[in-house]
Amino acid sequence: MRKILILPLLAAFLPGLAMAGQSGGQAPHAENIQSPSLSFMPPHDMVDRLMDEDPGVQRARALTKSAEAEARAREAGPHEFILHGEYVSRASNLEGRMDEWMAGISRGIRLPGKAEADGKIGAFGVAVAENSLGDSRHQAATMLKNLWLAWVTAEADAELAAAQVTDYEKELQAMERSRQLGQAAVLQVEQVQASLATARAQAAKAAQVRLDARMTLARNFPALALPAHPPVIPDPAPPPGLWEEWRAAVLNDNHEVKMAQSEADRREWLARRASLDRFADPTVDLRTFQDRAGHETGFGIGFTMPIGGSLRSAVADQASAEASAAAVAARKVLRDVEVAADRDVIQAQQGLTAWQQSRAAANASAQLMVRMRRAYALGDLGLTELLLAERQDFETRQTELQARSTAHGAILQLMIDAHRIWSLGDD
């Protein structure tokens, strides 16, 4: 009998299901995207607000302001005007008391090339911080997507488990009436009771998962007002445009790549700056003085310059090595993002295929259950076989739900990584 149950389910997976979603045109921008994967997610303006309030995003925004301040400081340079003076009152047996004083101003001067290097370092530092902010919004969007999907999926799974309990309760009532009429054995009642007990245990577990998912979502996004009734997860569909266009979008607008390249550029200019610092900046000193109660006055120009040694050379070598390491890291990030872009597309494609197969299996199982219940009513099928079929049908519907959620998650992740939703490409 097990073979009779399994064969129709296997048959649902055999037909080759063509992948949809290879329509023409480019991957659209956020404002133009129409996708079932977005229809049950929070509204766009709410998502923007939630991302802005994320602690990681707020931290990144503060660090961006810090980088901007550092850029202004580097543009101003490390040297400041220094005022200095001295007053002395001394007495001489020959000349009496004499007031003497000296006043001056000094300032270091950046050697040629250092101001440009400082400007580049500051600018690339701001670029690193801005892309870090964009990446933080990206991470917040991914977390919101994951937690929201986990919640709505857990809600749907709990409802499915609760419906199974209701079905077994009705079946048990019917079986007990049949036993009272002498049409069913005690063993049959106990079989249904056992199935009901299993279904209740599964429903209790599903309810706990639902509560945990809702709590986790609410704790991470306290400003999100969760609806009393979660949205229904619709049938997934491919994102608009060509798959290759989406892959290219992931690569072309990626904060990780931009951040790594900006950091490599910053390190390169830091290395140039350290090399220039092998020759220290001179300090020019202008001064005027009065000695011997005004009998002697003068004006002078001073010049000082440290003589660089092994310390400056070692610092320059260190900066050069760090620049090389940053360049290698940037190339690795690009390679990792290329892999991630391929993975995003593959997972979206495979997610859709898996869901289509699961849906076909669920439809086949539903049709099978109609025939098996008819056979049971006619006495051509035993209770044991019917209960087993009902169990398999429930598991098939669970599999379809999980596949539907997984497909939406993969499609949403592709959209997020491509910065085509939720203003992710604006920072």
pLDDT in tens, 210-232: 999 999 999 999 999 888 889 99
pLDDT in tens, 168-214: 888 888 777 777 777 667 888 888 889 899 999 999 999 999 999 99
Domain ranges of the chain: 2-80+128-276+335-417
Give percent of the chain with pLDDT exceeding 90.
66
Percent helix, strand and coil across the chain, each to the nearest 5: 65, 10, 25
* Mean per-residue pLDDT of the chain: 88
Among the listed residues 334, 355, 186, the one whose alpha carbon sits nearest the alpha carbon of residue 251: 334
Residue 6 clears pLDDT 80, i.e. is over it:
no
Amino acid 20: pLDDT: 38
Q: Could you tell me if 355 and 400 are in contact, meaning their C-beta atoms sit under 8 angstroms apart?
A: yes
368 to 142, 168, 372, 375: CA distances (angstroms): 39, 18, 6, 10
Counting beta carbons within 10 angstroms of the beta carbon of residue 350, is it exposed (0 to 12), middle (13 to 18) or buried (19 or more)? middle
Residue with tokens 């400081």: 73
Please compute the mean of the pLDDT values over residues 383-389 and round it to a whole number: 88
Amino acid 161: pLDDT: 95
CATH H superfamily, domain 2-80+128-276+335-417: Outer membrane efflux proteins (OEP) (1.20.1600.10)
Distance of CA 97 to the CA centre of its chain: 77
Residue 16 clears pLDDT 80, i.e. is over it:
no
User: If you ran DSSP here, which 8-state letter would residue 277 be given?
Assistant: T
> How far is the C-alpha of 200 from the C-alpha of 163, rounded, in Å?
10
- Is the pTM higher than 0.75? The answer reads yes
